[in-house]
Amino acid sequence: RELVVSFGEMLIDFVPTVAGVSLAEAPAFLKAPGGAPANVAIAVSRLGGGAAFVGKLGDDEFGRMLAAILRDNGVDDGGVVFDAGARTALAFVTLRADGEREFMFYRNPSADMLLTADELNVELIKRAAVFHYGSISLIAEPCRTAHLRAMEIAKEAGALLSYDPNLREALWPSREEARTQILSIWDQADIVKVSEVELEFLTGIDSVEDDVVMKLWRPTMKLLLVTLGDQGCKYYARDFHGAVPSFKVQQVDTTGAGDAFVGALLQRIVKDPSSLQDEKKLVESIKFANACGAITTTKKGAIPSLPTEAEVLQLIEKA
Ligand code: ATP
């Protein structure tokens, strides 16, 4: 049993053909397939691991294109369903000259939000060694109920639960609601990964000191990670904690670095679950995940820049 099953949204990001412009200034947009949970599934598969995606797409050209991208990348799409009445989600995204990311979402509602618990591929979810998810699928019903049910099915079948909240403030009715809902499933996860921004959002404190991170620790957790961009990441387990630096690369576009990191780490954990208890093995796996995240920043877009295992090992050896 070596399957990572990733649950949630898959969508198309439209990104400006030129950098440093606002959405209104952009002369044209390129299609960039994405959605964090889908990126994670493809990251695992690109590294040679077994991966499946569970979610809903519109029964339209974009939806069928996304399902084909999963299959072309070796991801099992047996958990994908299509909604005849709603479109595949779109997001227009730009990195403005001031470094701020600007999002505009077309979800009114989009197909991903309409997945029902009855549509879940229960047999596929039961095969998961790791079941991974974010928080965007918690925002609206019926997907929220489907998400909670899928977590239950996976847990009952013995999977480890992995959670990357992937905060998108603009999608929530309020900051308070986002915080409450993101934390409502905090205690179920075995593995949790947050970024620096999410750590500050959830704790209200702008610091990555251990005592701040520990506010997010639960005794039920096996691993808590804080990713720090080019600084690598910090890790917290029951019996040990520490930090692992990343690798020096020429950064072009950070989209998907967090997803690549998560995919790589999950692939390693699935191959050797004992790395969750063994600090030496865990640090090796985190190093591998950092390298995978680093490589993903060297090319434009998330999915095209996800590396193979050979590329990751090459970066590690070179360092
Ligand atoms: P996302 O924007 O996808 O949500 P994130 O904020 O969750 O990303 P990051 O911290 O940006 O995640 O990146 C994840 C990991 O990738 C980092 O922990 C680090 O190991 C690696 N990484 C990211 N950016 C760089 C960089 N510029 N140089 C080297 N490594 C990087």
Nearest to 226 by CA among 217, 218, 269: 217
How close is the Cα of 255 to the center of ligand 1, in Å? 9
Q: What is the pLDDT of residues 199-227, one digit of tens each?
A: 999 999 999 999 999 999 999 999 999 99
Say whether pLDDT at 100 is over 80: no
Check residue 11 and give its pLDDT: 97
Residue with tokens 């019926």: 142
Of all protein residues, the one whose alpha carbon is nearest to atom 23 of ligand 1 is 229
Residue with tokens 């999915």: 303
Instruction: Enumerate the β-bridge partners of residue 194.
Output: 226
Q: Could you tell me if the CB of 208 is within 6 A of ligand 1?
A: no
Q: Could you tell me if the CB of 94 is within 6 A of ligand 1?
A: no
H helices then E strands: how many in the chain? 10, 13
Q: What is the pLDDT of residues 74-94, one digit of tens each?
A: 999 999 999 999 999 999 999
- Atom number in ligand 1 closest to CA 194: 7
Q: How far, in Å, are 35, 245, 266, 305 from residue 42 at the CA level? A: 11, 24, 12, 11
Rounded mean pLDDT of 312-316? 98
Residue with tokens 């050209």: 61
Check residue 88 and report its DSSP letter.
Answer: P
Q: Beta-carbon neighbour count of residue 248 at 10 Å? A: 11
Mean model confidence pLDDT for the chain:
96
Instruction: Enumerate the β-bridge partners of residue 56.
Output: 81
How close is the Cα of 254 to the center of ligand 1, in Å? 7
How close is the Cα of 6 to the center of ligand 1, in Å? 20
Q: Which residues are catalytic?
A: 259
Nearest to 201 by CA among 177, 226, 222, 175: 175
Check residue 172 and give its pLDDT: 96
Residue 55, SS3 per DSSP: strand
Check residue 1 and give its pLDDT: 74
Check residue 232 and give its pLDDT: 98
- Please report which confidence band the pLDDT of residue 10 belongs to, taking 50, 70 and 90 as the band edges: very high
Judged by phi (left if over 0) then psi (alpha if -120 to 50, else beta), residue 21 lies in beta
Return d(Cα 205, Cα 207) in angstroms, integer: 6
Say whether pLDDT at 97 is over 90: no
- Please report which confidence band the pLDDT of residue 269 belongs to, taking 50, 70 and 90 as the band edges: very high
316 or 96: which carries more pLDDT confidence?
A: 316
Q: Could you tell me if the CB of 297 is within 6 A of ligand 1?
A: yes
The span from the first CA to the last CA of the chain, in angstroms, equals 33
Check residue 259 and give its pLDDT: 98
Check residue 98 and give its pLDDT: 78
The fraction of the chain above a pLDDT of 70, given in percent, is 100
How close is the Cα of 77 to the center of ligand 1, in Å? 27
Identify the helix (H) or strand (E) that includes residue 22: none
Q: Could you tell me if the CB of 305 is within 6 A of ligand 1?
A: no
Residues with Cβ within 8 Å of residue 31, at least 6 apart in sequence = 12, 13, 14
Q: Beta-carbon neighbour count of residue 89 at 10 Å? A: 27
Check residue 301 and give its pLDDT: 87
Say whether pLDDT at 112 is over 90: yes
70 or 100: which carries more pLDDT confidence?
A: 70
Say whether pLDDT at 185 is over 90: yes
Identify the helix (H) or strand (E) that includes residue 69: helix 61-72
Q: Residue 219: what residue type?
A: P
11, 112 contact by CB (below 8 A) = yes
- Atom number in ligand 1 closest to CA 293: 16
Give all strands (DSSP E) within 134-286, no chain letters.
160-163, 191-195, 223-227, 233-236, 241-244
Q: How far, in Å, are 39, 74, 154 from residue 161 at the CA level? A: 17, 22, 8
